[in-house]
Chains A and B, each alone.
Chain A
Amino acid sequence: MVRTVEIQGSAVAPPERGEVQGAESIPCWASRLQELARALEDEADQARREVLLTQAWLILHSVTFRFLRRHASGNARVTPDDLEEIAEKRVSDLLCRMRSSEWVMTRRPPNEVAPYLSRVARNGLATFLGRRHRRITTIAGGAQNAIGIEGKAMQAAGEGPEAGVERREFARALRECAEKLDPRVRLIWYLRVFCGLSSRQIAAHPEVQLKPSHIDVLLMRGRRAIKAAMRARGYSPADMPAGCFVEIWRAFRLEEPDRP
């Protein structure tokens, strides 16, 4: 039996919406990854090395996952869970290779990092699909799926200035209501409402570290407080418009030194 694995498209993923390719478009994360690799070589303290490894892991995972999504776009049989699985494995391999100096990233220019990770993602996807006897057909122009929009409501194209004001007002009101919460309750509320983490994941989050049952109690308390405060301002938190996430993230997570 002949197993066929077809992957169309170049090794380097096509440019994203609005993306201009060239020397000036080298992303900062690539340089940061090289800095981390350099720091890892010099660092003697194990705890500090683990912090650096965690930071590198988060960057590698985000980028690899993104390339995987782009390479797999149009293939309905590859689920997000499959992509998570591939990314997890490939990024662990990369970290091990980086730690053992098998992958010496620091000797390459930063603009080679992204193409390399794209190839890693593509090969990982091919291996995964070959193993599962799957056939990939990457549909050109499936970029909409690649950016992870997931069919969520978009901003209305013809949104008038009043609607924009209304949206900003809502976001500001939500931020002001969230400011009144206890920081820990606020973090739990944020992780659930905006990031969709389960109680177990929130409980294990390094900035929370509580029992899952306590998470539920605190979450309920936070939700009630937000709901009451928003109702007092004439809003229903259920109809959260676009812009709320940015407002909350900017206010409470952007300046966090330990944020992802």
Chain B
Amino acid sequence: MEAHATEDRILDLVLGLLSPQEREPLLDHLAGCAQCEMVLRNLVAQQERLRGSYRVREKTEGGVAVEPLAPAQGRDRRGPATHRRSERTGPRSAVPSGESRFKSVLASLFRPWPRTAWVPLAAGCAAGVLILVLMAGPHGGSRNGGNPMVHPLPPLGIEQNSVVRGPSGPLSSAAEGLDAYESGDYPLAVRLLREAHAEGEMETVRRVYLASALAMSGEYPQALFVQKSVENADGLPEPWRSEFRWTSYVTFSRCARKASADSLLRLLAAESGPVGDRAREVLAGKEGGQETMTGRPLKPAYPATPRGPEKAPDVEKTGKAVKP
């Protein structure tokens, strides 16, 4: 086990007395050790509090006085005077405030612009139009261009469907949500699955599909929230488990959490099956110099609507009939 940093050492760090060679390893340790980080935080907080509460002053007769500080009076939130417009442009009365400021903004809008002002404006508009045209180009997928795609989860089998669609009323909107999901109406699926309430394993089913529907609708941060709330995600049967992890990978990527995404991608690439293939393809693309895979969806991994008994997943094999 790595030894903790001493409080003396941490105080030296706070006071800026360590060389960069001494400082960096200590900071790395502090970032990973909650106990030492708390010592640092206590020390820093104490010093900041002292600076915000007292002032050390030398008395004329030779002594030293530690006096309590009073908050500043009369300064405004716009910061030091040197940064303010009034200081740069002229006397304070020249700065419009309240209604007069609103009027001055209106007046500036309707004031005829100088001829030279049109040139940069026209250039900016042209650049904007060009960007829009490029984004809506023939390849489409502008939102997905250069990013991995979310894949829909496989549909539930007959066993699971019978549980979801059982006679109990509260699960009806979950069942409708799953119908909407399977038909590809993801916004409706999101709405219905959010409204639904379930318990135990059915709650896991609801959250897994809700997270996927959110990701399919492009609501990645919300999808991430829901994904985090899924308990025992590693206990899901295949292929839901790996598809759920793939969706997590995509949401991590879309939320700019590259380290988490890369870490998960490497784990997925070590697995077999369509998700493993997909992950290996992305990894090969990355290592081959491409930043990410193309927006083009890969071959469909699962056939649609296996509703009949003959297409139900092998419940005996998984041994987990209720979980997705």
Contacts and interface: CB of A to CB of B under 8 A. Distances in A.
Interface of A: 16-19, 25, 27-29, 31-32, 46, 49-50, 53-54, 57-59, 61-63, 65-66, 88, 91-92, 95-96, 99-100, 114, 147-150, 152-155, 161-162, 164-166, 168-169, 171-173, 184, 191, 194-197, 200-206, 208-212, 214, 217-218, 231-234, 236, 242-243, 245-247, 249-250, 253-254, 259-260
Interface in B1-31: 3-9, 11-12, 14-18, 27, 30-31
A65 B43 CA distance: 10
20 contacts: A28-B18, A53-B56, A61-B47, A99-B64, A149-B35, A162-B260, A168-B31, A191-B52, A197-B45, A197-B52, A205-B51, A205-B52, A209-B75, A210-B71, A232-B255, A242-B33, A246-B27, A246-B30, A246-B31, A253-B44
Interface of B: 3-9, 11-12, 14-18, 27, 30-35, 37-53, 55-58, 62-66, 69-77, 79, 220-225, 251-252, 255-257, 259-260, 263-264
A2 B317 CA distance: 81
Contacts of B43: 62
Given A63-B11, A250-B27, A95 B35 contact: no
A203 B48 contact: no
B6 A19 contact: yes
Nearest to B252: A234
Given A92-B64, A203-B72, A171 B31 contact: yes
Contact of B7 (A16, A209, A231): A16
Contact of B263 (A66, A165, A242, A246): A165
Given A99-B63, A168-B31, A172-B259, 16 more contacts: A53-B58, A92-B65, A96-B64, A162-B264, A164-B32, A191-B48, A202-B52, A204-B70, A209-B72, A210-B75, A211-B72, A234-B223, A246-B31, A249-B41, A253-B44, A254-B16
A250 B260 CA distance: 22
Nearest to A35: B17
Contact of B44 (A29, A53, A212, A249): A249
A16 B47 CA distance: 21
A163 B17 CA distance: 32
A53 B64 contact: yes
Given A154-B34, A168-B259, A243-B31, A218 B77 contact: yes
A210 B252 CA distance: 40
A66 B7 contact: yes
A142 to B, nearest CB: 15
A211 B31 contact: no
Given A201-B53, A211-B71, A246-B30, A96 B63 contact: yes
B77 A214 contact: yes
A196 B45 contact: yes
A166 B255 CA distance: 13
A212 B260 contact: no
A113 to B, nearest CB: 11
B63 A233 contact: no
A99 B33 contact: no
Contacts of A19: 6-8
A203 B17 contact: no
Contact of A204 (B72, B76, B221, B260): B72
A36 B270 CA distance: 59
Given A211-B72, A246-B31, A169 B58 contact: no
Contacts of B256: 173, 233
B17 A32 contact: yes
B52 A194 contact: no
A155 B63 CA distance: 46
The 7 closest A-B pairs by CB, nearest first: A260-B47, A234-B224, A203-B71, A201-B52, A242-B34, A27-B8, A155-B34
Contacts of B77: 210-211, 214, 217-218
A147 B8 contact: no
Contacts of A148: 38-39, 42
A150 B4 CA distance: 17
